Amino acid sequence: MSLKFGRLSKSSILGVKTVIYSKLISGGIIGCGIAGLAVALNESVKASDLTLHPPKYPWYHRQGFFNTLDMASVRRGYQVYKQICAACHSMRFVAYRELVNNTHTEEEAKAEAAEILVTDGPDETGKMFQRPGKLSDRFPNPYPNEEAARAANNGAYPPDLSYIVLARHGGEDYVFSLLTGYTDAPAGITVDDGQYFNPYFPGGLISMAQALYNDVVVYDDGTPASASQLAKDVCNFLKWTGEPNYNERMLRVMRIIIYGSAIFLACWYGKRHAWSVLKSRKIMFREKKTVD
Amino acid sequence: MFSVVIKGNTLAPHLKATSYAVGHKAILAAVNASHEGEEHIVSQDFKPIDAHSMRLINGQLKAVSKSVNAIGQVRYAHTDIKIPSFDAYRRESTKDPKKSSLATDADRKAFTYLMTASFAATSAVFAKSVIRGAVSTMAPSKDVLALAKIEVKLDEIPEGKNLTVKWRGKPLFIRHRSAAEIEKERAVDVSSLRHPEPDDQRVKQDKWLIVIGVCTHLGCVPIANQGDFGGYFCPCHGSHYDASGRIRKGPAPLNLEVPPYEFVGDTVVVG
Amino acid sequence: MAGFMSTTYNLLFKRTSTTIFTIFVGALLCERTVDYSTQAVFDHINRGKQWKDIKHNYEK
């Protein structure tokens, strides 16, 4: 550096630099302030202070980097969905065949599918007919359309649950908190008929009544069915329906890390190999005698 | 500062092989044979290789050249410059200065090629899975595949009856053949048929005939248990099929198509 | 070590054809071993949680 700037006075360069730096810093502070104000204004519009944020729960699939979903819990969660949630909520993107070799055997899944009636057709006479469900059928919709659903639920539309964990901020933590978070409304909040107070629901007033109580379901594997156990299992089930390839993806992550690091190491060696000539090159300088 | 002067034996003083190897920052000076001073050093190991060039001397003199009756080329020997250690860029095998590079040649190459090969191999595995993923997006999706297979319970079909089910948008005939029908179709002379196929090639179990119910003529749906041969009859242009689904009379060129199927217990899985 | 490396070079990498062959064989072996070992590690981490660990309860 000193060689390059030999003819220039050092202080003048530093002076210019200082001015530039101070301008940059002051500009940065102002910019950050404006951005922060914009964010703050935006947040205040969301009225997020009325909503309780769910805590992070220790789900099995979150405890380790390569953990799968707890499939026994997912299976129980299917039972909870079928016996409780399915009364109002559809899952129109999930088919019975997806249960096979994930939570149920093929025979069990066929038996589950056969419990529903599916409108099929037209037959030879051009009429629609009802038949028992097959593996290729999807979970039944409790209402024929959205209007019917709203009419039956005080104007509120029970959302489809296929991807609900992905579709809600907070994911399975939110759904779990919502299912177990029903309380009495605090003073100052009026709850109309057909509405319930839930601090985790944005706005606090939800049209869904508390659905999970202790022992409303009898698990076929004998697990004690406390309300929080039911909520945990159904959240695991909803997580699985939202990301049916979750387990496979975890295995793939492991493989990608192994192959990626091998490729990285080889690239790193290749870079060193290619650059070693330049890096170990000797460059000599001869100072030219300046004539004063 | 080193300066070395060599005199030609016979042609001196007219021809001088003169060379200078000068330390860093040395002042250039015209040095002649006549100007030799106490700085004149001639190494004991200094041996001419040929008339025109000299080699490294004692690891100190870096360049020697020749000129006629004048000062030769001057290069710097750099013996006073500290050369940084490049050991981080050198392999273990090359750190011993007494070893010739030829001795460690295969060793060094092997490692570099090993790294190259492992890069290529892992990349190949990676590329394979990426390509497989990309190609599999063109394969039918699972919901389509789930619809492509149907299961039919066979014990619900009485003997001599024909069941029509829908399979991939086409009617599928499942016929419970009687012993008399089986006997009759087996006795048919295959060489007399338009599309010669023996009966046992068209069925997997004698009792069950499973064919796609689309006439091979123009695609109408034949009617079961009608026609001259007791099998199927196409009402559009009058093609007669027998109880093995073979064309026997009429315009159709081929027998009714047999789909892939297999028996699982008392059900048949078609697709 | 040095002997091993030079043998490796002379046997595998001296010719382009053997180099390519080595790469393909290496890719096959590498895929097999990585698939097998990651699956084993994965099953060990998640023992008792996957469908294959619980399906014996439901199969007749």
**Helix orientation angle between A171-180 and A227-242, rounded to the nearest 10 degrees:** 150
CA-based torsion, A45, A49, A51, A53: positive or negative: positive
Mean pLDDT by 10 residues, chain B (271 residues): 42 43 41 38 40 44 50 62 77 81 82 92 93 93 84 82 83 86 82 83 84 87 82 86 85 87 84 79
Same domain, yes or no: A235 and A110:
no
d(CA B86, CA B83): 9
Query: Which residues touch C16 (CB under 8 Å, ≥6 apart)?
Result: none
Q: What is the pLDDT of residue B253?
A: 87
CATH number for the domain that contains residue A185: 1.10.760.10
List subunits contacting chain B, requiring 3 or more Cβ pairs under 8 Å: A, C
pTM beyond 0.80, yes or no:
no
Query: What domains lie within chain B, and their CATH numbers?
Result: 2-76 (no CATH), 148-270 (2.102.10.10)
Query: What domains lie within chain C, and their CATH numbers?
Result: 2-55 (1.20.5.260)
B125 vs C contacts (CB less than 8 Å): 27, 30-31, 34
- Domain span at A180: 60-94+138-246
Which of A267-281, B202-216, C38-52 is modeled with the greatest confidence?
C38-52
Position A86 in a domain: yes
Classify B138 as helix, strand or coil. coil
Q: What is the pLDDT of residue B76?
A: 63
Same domain, yes or no: A186 and A239:
yes
Q: What is the pLDDT of residue B15?
A: 42
A68–C contact, CB cutoff 8 A: yes
**pLDDT tens, position by position, A167-223:** 999 999 999 999 999 999 888 888 888 899 999 998 889 999 999 999 999 998 899
Same domain, yes or no: A158 and A193:
yes
Same domain, yes or no: A189 and A241:
yes
**Are the CB atoms for B268 and B215 separated by under 8 Å?**
no
CA-based torsion, A112, A118, A120, A123: positive or negative: positive
Whether A208 has a binding-site annotation, put simply, is yes
ipTM reported for the complex, 2 dp? 0.88
A283–B contact, CB cutoff 8 A: no
Position A255 in a domain: no
**pLDDT tens, position by position, A39-96:** 766 665 555 566 788 999 999 999 999 999 999 999 999 999 999 999 999 999 999 9
Same domain, yes or no: A173 and A154:
yes
Q: What is the pLDDT of residue B74?
A: 62
Position A85 in a domain: yes
* Mutation site, C1, C12, C13, C21, interface B, largest B CB count within 10 A: C13
Question: For chains A and C, what is the number of CB pairs under 8 angstroms?
Answer: 49
What distance in Å separates residue C53's CA from the closest CA in chain B? 25
Same domain, yes or no: A169 and A201:
yes
DSSP per position, A214-244: TTSS--TT-----HHHHHHHHHHHHHHHH-T
pLDDT at A263 over 90: yes
The mean per-residue pLDDT over the stretch A262-287 comes to: 86
Position A268 in a domain: no
Same domain, yes or no: A212 and A86:
yes
**pLDDT tens, position by position, B52-111:** 344 444 445 445 555 455 455 666 666 666 777 888 878 877 788 888 888 788 888 888
Cα end-to-end span (Å), chain B: 94
Classify B22 as helix, strand or coil. strand
Determine whether B237 is an active site residue. yes
Mean pLDDT taken over chain C? 90
DSSP per position, B49-74: SSSS----BTTTB------SSS---E
B93 vs C contacts (CB less than 8 Å): 2
Q: Do B122 and A135 make contact, defined as CB atoms within 8 angstroms?
A: no
**Helix orientation angle between A227-242 and A71-83, rounded to the nearest 10 degrees:** 100
Q: What is the count of structural domains for chain A? A: 2
d(CA B96, CA B54): 25
CB-closest option in A71, A105, A258 to C50: A71
Query: Which residues touch A1 (CB under 8 Å, ≥6 apart)?
Result: none
Q: What is the pLDDT of residue A124?
A: 72
Mean pLDDT taken over chain A? 85
Instruction: Return the closest-CA partner of residue A263 out of C45, B130, C55.
Output: B130
Same domain, yes or no: A208 and A231:
yes
Q: Do C9 and B110 make contact, defined as CB atoms within 8 angstroms?
A: yes
pLDDT at A1 over 70: no
**pLDDT tens, position by position, A2-17:** 344 434 444 444 444 5
Same domain, yes or no: A116 and A222:
no
